Each structure stands twice: as C-alpha cells, then as structure tokens.
Structure 1
C-alpha cells in the first residue's frame, strides 16, 4: 500500500475532540453531555452536502473528511468542535495503515 502524503502545513484548523458522557438524571434515565478529550490540529476537506425538509424546515447536512494526527481512542460517536461548528464523527480510518494520522468522516449540520 502506498503511503499517503499529508503536508503538515495544511493542518490549519484547531479542533477540540469531545466524547459523550452520560449523567444519571435520578429517575432511572440519563442525559447526554460532552466533555473535551484533547486539542489537535487538523485539515478539513469538504466532501458533499445534502438538503432535505424536516418538520417543515430546511435541513442541510455537510460532510467533511478531517485529517488528524494518529491517536488512540478516536471513534465513531465522538465529535470534533471548531468554535460553534460541530463535526459528528461517523467513521475513522488509518488511510495507509502507517499509524501516522487518521481520517475522520464527519457530518456537520448547517442551519
């Protein structure tokens, strides 16, 4: 397999990786919250967008390919945050199996 080339100068987005945390609500249920699990520099590549109607309103979902330095613990179900923008991680892969970086396939819901 050919090694993928990633120019470090293209990682210009400073992101916060967030993991879900469930907090008991005292009535047998739980509420979902998010906690920061680290900061990282990333390269964000827009991939596609799709618009649909939802409850009488317009919903737009943008997909992105986000390249980050390799690290353990990154998984689908987590998210990356850049200010008020939230990128939900759908899948994570090591594109050339070299252990140098990860590619996160993410969705961002636009208003």
Structure 2
C-alpha cells in the first residue's frame, strides 16, 4: 500500500560555532528538502518556568536513504515547516524492504 507523502519539510542539522569567548553556539544548517507523511501520535501540555508548553509527538515517514547518507534523517537533527520545528528523537526502518523510515519527533509550542 503506497504511503501518501504530501508535506515538504526542510531537514536541518546542528553545527557548533565558536563564540570567541571559549564557548560555542549552535546554528542550524539546512541539508535539503524531504517529502514526508506526518501522523500526530500524542499530545500533552506541560508546565515550565516560562509557562505552559504544548508538546506533540509525531511519526514522520519519508523515503529511506542508506545509513550514513546525509539525506537520511538522524536523531539530533530536526525538520522545519515554516516556523514549526520537529526535533528528531529516533529513526527506524518502516518496512521490511528498507524503502521507508519513520522519524519519531517532538514539536513544542509555547501557549
């Protein structure tokens, strides 16, 4: 059964940049665009020192690239859809043939 991939997301990776004061900052570099299918898995609201945060867990399915290929999403990377950010926490093969991967991602939104 074909998977409808109808959302285009940017895949981004973190880069450590020296700040000149013996520390660093994290910048995000876009690696490319991927067509995906997005399925919301669960959601909750949690309190933080800054107020309430809406947290949604997503399963984001895309075509697989070989392990080590920069087009294959990895934990620690993120997807971007405009201003929305999806932090990738885990990646697993979605089918026995290795044609698809599922990325389990977390989206947080200050409410």
CA distance in 1, matches of 2:78, 2:2: 22
What 5-or-longer segments of structure 2 have no aligned partner?
A: none
Q: Is the 8 A contact 2:95 2:101 kept in 1?
A: no
Deviation at 1:53, TM superposition (A): 1.1
Normalised by the length of structure 2, the TM-score is 0.88
* Structure-2 residue corresponding to 1:62: 56
- Taking only aligned residues, the RMSD between alpha carbons, in angstroms, comes to 1.3
Q: How does 1:9-88 map to 2 (within 5 A)?
A: 10-55=4-49, 57-71=51-65, 72-73=69-70, 74-88=73-87
Where does residue 102 of structure 1 map in the other structure?
101
Deviates more, 1:55-64 or 1:14-23: 55-64
Give 4+ residue runs of structure 1 displaced > 4 Å after superposition. none
2-side partners of 1:108 and 1:30: how far apart? 25
Separation (CA, whole Å) in 2 of partners of 1:102 and 1:21: 24
Equivalent residue pairs, number = 105
Structure 1 gaps, min length 5: none
Give the C-alpha shift of residue 56 in structure 1: 5.4
